[in-house]
């Protein structure tokens, strides 16, 4: 969008605020697609939903490419963006449900890897054919090829075995599991676990949205918190906002030519796609939580360093008033801006980027998975929209970068204390992690409560002893006073007797 925004602004002669509004509309359309995708996939299947999504995406792209007026272009864009939102909500769920446990993390992150390489390919196309007069029609035509191929390829893909079990088609599910796992015994064991999970969930008798929001158990609420948290974190670290307006950071670093900006944008996306791909190889070896903590830590450090450099350049511009002279005065800060931006992108892409979708797709029970994952995607996109509204109406790069850095500290604490590790666990067993977490917290809370009760009882007993001691002391003092009085009375009587005797 950063490259497209520049051409849209130039061709349509619109302002920055209008570009921001256009980006906001795109977010809302994606949110709509994500919202409806979960329920649709529960009814017609993950496989069919992906196939229809690819078909609609192809139609939308062709409408934009062949349109002769802005109205048809707008309709095509609406169809496209709703399809994108649907695909984002369903593809990771489908892959998580069909993958073996040992490689589920790597495989589930592949849609994110494909998105990043697709984005990179789009920028490369922009770079090499930017001189063509029919540039828009040519690029849109290229864009229609990939969803069409995906739609054709989906015909060869099997349906999710877990969805098939939900529909009572255990035989078909077993055939797919035998192709997925190494042995028939393992496939049969996994089928039995899925059937047990489906049997348990069907006895609840509640709708999915009711179970997610109205009648949720404590551990389902914990799952929702984790999904909302990791998706908000991904946006709160600023990756989409910074990339969307990366051209402005390049300008701070002294890059003024449009071709140079596009070149560095391509470099940024090469780094992003490469580290996404590298991260997929470690998700099932290192674990989700460790990669997240390392990624968030590195991202926070890079944001701090980038913010310092941008702040120095901004202050120099304000004092000197000449950007060229300020760049000469602070060459080191200018020189570090782009490398720090690349390191920041690498840090996010090596953990937070791919893990958000993986974690969200695997922690919910089967009955809640599709729509629970959609909740995470919606939270991700709403957060992105909110951040674009907050930071970009009066955009200041330094303020945005330091704000994202502060979010990094809260993100680290959230992952460390709230999110359990899911690596290596079967999909049907992951919910037990959240039950165990709740039981541990409840047990710990009960122990703490018992300790507090014991402390209160001990304090009460000590107070009682003090009161008794005071009472005993008071009685003793009263006895001494009475004895003293009696003694004095006896002495007085003796004196009287003595004086009275002859």
Q: Is residue 447 domain-shared with residue 341, that is, in the same domain?
A: no
20 pLDDT higher than 60: no
Q: Is residue 447 domain-shared with residue 344, that is, in the same domain?
A: no
Q: Is residue 284 domain-shared with residue 407, that is, in the same domain?
A: yes
Q: How many helices (H) and strands (E) does the chain have?
A: 22, 0
Model pLDDT for residues 287-336, shown as the tens digit of each residue: 889 999 999 999 999 989 888 887 777 665 544 444 454 445 556 666 77
Rounded to an integer, the average pLDDT of 220-240 is 89
Residue 302 lies in a domain: yes
Phi, then psi, of 360 in degrees rounded to 5: -65, -30
Q: Is residue 119 domain-shared with residue 264, that is, in the same domain?
A: yes
Q: Is residue 111 domain-shared with residue 22, that is, in the same domain?
A: yes
Rounded to an integer, the average pLDDT of 18-35 is 70
Domain count of the fold of the chain: 2
Reported as a pLDDT band with limits 50, 70 and 90, residue 498 is low
DSSP 396-422: -HHHHHHHHHHHHHHHHHHHHHHPPP-
155 pLDDT higher than 60: yes
Model pLDDT for residues 163-189, shown as the tens digit of each residue: 888 888 888 888 888 887 777 887 888
Angle, alpha carbons 422-118-89 (nearest 5°) = 45
Q: Around Cβ 17, how many Cβ atoms within 10 Å?
A: 10
**Cα 223 to Cα 288: distance, rounded to the nearest angstrom:** 15
**Contact yes or no for 55/48 (Cβ under 8 A):** no
Rounded to an integer, the average pLDDT of 457-477 is 66
Q: Is residue 275 domain-shared with residue 318, that is, in the same domain?
A: yes
**Cα 172 to Cα 373: distance, rounded to the nearest angstrom:** 25
pLDDT of residue 320: 45
Q: Which domain, by its residues, includes 362?
A: 2-157+204-425
DSSP 204: S
Both structure tokens of 469: 């001691």
pLDDT of residue 157: 84
Rounded to an integer, the average pLDDT of 73-84 is 81
Residue 185 lies in a domain: no
Given the structure tokens 């949720």, which residue do they identify? 216
pLDDT of residue 321: 45
The domain boundary residue, chosen from 410, 425, 440 = 425
Q: Is residue 257 domain-shared with residue 306, that is, in the same domain?
A: yes
Q: Is residue 228 domain-shared with residue 360, that is, in the same domain?
A: yes
Q: What is the pTM of this model?
A: 0.75
DSSP 451-462: HHHHHHHHHHHH
Q: Which of 64-73, 344-353, 361-370 has the lowest mean pLDDT?
A: 64-73
Residue 51 lies in a domain: yes
Q: Is residue 228 domain-shared with residue 255, that is, in the same domain?
A: yes
Q: Is residue 377 domain-shared with residue 469, that is, in the same domain?
A: no
Q: Which of 51-65, 135-149, 210-224, 383-397 has the lowest mean pLDDT?
A: 135-149
Closest listed residue to residue 151, CA positions, set 79, 66, 83, 64? 83
């Amino acid at each position: 969008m950063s490259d497209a925004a520049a051409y849209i602004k130039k061709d349509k002669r619109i302002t920055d605020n209008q570009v921001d509004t256009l980006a906001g509309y795109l977010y809302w359309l994606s949110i709509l697609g994500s919202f409806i995708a979960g329920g649709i996939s529960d009814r017609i299947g993950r496989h069919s939903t992906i196939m229809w999504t690819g078909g609609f995406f192809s139609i939308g792209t062709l409408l934009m490419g062949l349109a002769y007026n802005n109205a048809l272009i707008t309709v095509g864009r609406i169809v496209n963006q709703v399809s994108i939102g649907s695909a984002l909500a369903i593809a990771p769920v489908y892959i998580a449900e069909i993958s073996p446990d040992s490689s589920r993390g790597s495989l589930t992150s592949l849609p994110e890897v494909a998105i990043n390489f697709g984005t990179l390919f789009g920028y490369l196309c922009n770079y090499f054919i930017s001189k063509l007069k029919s540039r828009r029609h040519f690029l849109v035509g290229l864009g229609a090829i990939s969803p069409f191929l995906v739609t054709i390829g989906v015909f060869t893909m099997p349906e999710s075995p877990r969805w098939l079990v939900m529909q009572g088609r255990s035989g078909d599910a077993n055939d797919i599991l035998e192709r997925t796992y190494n042995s028939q015994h393992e496939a049969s064991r996994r089928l039995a676990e899925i059937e047990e999970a489906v049997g348990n969930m069907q006895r609840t008798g509640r709708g999915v949205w009711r179970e997610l929001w109205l009648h949720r158990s404590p551990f389902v609420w914990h799952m929702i918190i984790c999904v909302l948290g990791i998706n908000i974190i991904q946006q709160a670290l600023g990756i989409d906002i910074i990339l969307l307006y990366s051209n402005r950071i390049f300008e701070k670093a002294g890059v003024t030519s449009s071709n140079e900006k596009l070149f560095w944008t391509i470099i940024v996306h090469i780094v992003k796609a490469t580290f996404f791909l590298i991260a997929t190889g470690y998700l099932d070896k290192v674990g989700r939580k460790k990669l997240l903590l390392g990624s968030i830590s590195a991202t926070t450090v890079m944001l701090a360093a980038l913010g310092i450099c941008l702040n120095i350049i901004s202050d120099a511009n304000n004092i000197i008033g000449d950007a060229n002279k300020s760049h000469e005065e602070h060459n080191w800060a200018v020189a570090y801006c782009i490398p720090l931006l690349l390191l920041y992108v690498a840090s996010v892409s090596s953990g937070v980027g791919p893990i958000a979708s993986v974690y969200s797709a695997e922690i919910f029970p089967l009955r809640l998975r599709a729509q629970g994952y959609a909740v995470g995607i919606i939270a991700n996109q709403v957060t992105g929209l909110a951040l674009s509204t907050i930071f970009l109406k009066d955009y200041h790069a330094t303020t945005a970068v330091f704000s994202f850095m502060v979010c990094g500290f809260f993100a680290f604490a959230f992952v460390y204390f709230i999110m359990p590790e899911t690596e290596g666990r079967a999909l049907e067993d992951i919910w037990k992690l959240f039950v165990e977490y709740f039981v541990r917290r409840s047990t710990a809370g009960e122990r703490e409560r018992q300790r507090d009760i014991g402390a209160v009882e001990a304090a009460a007993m000590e107070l009682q002893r003090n009161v008794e001691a005071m009472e005993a002391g008071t009685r003793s003092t009263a006895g001494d006073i009475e004895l003293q009085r009696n003694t004095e009375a006896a002495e007085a009587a003796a004196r009287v007797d003595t004086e009275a005797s002859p």
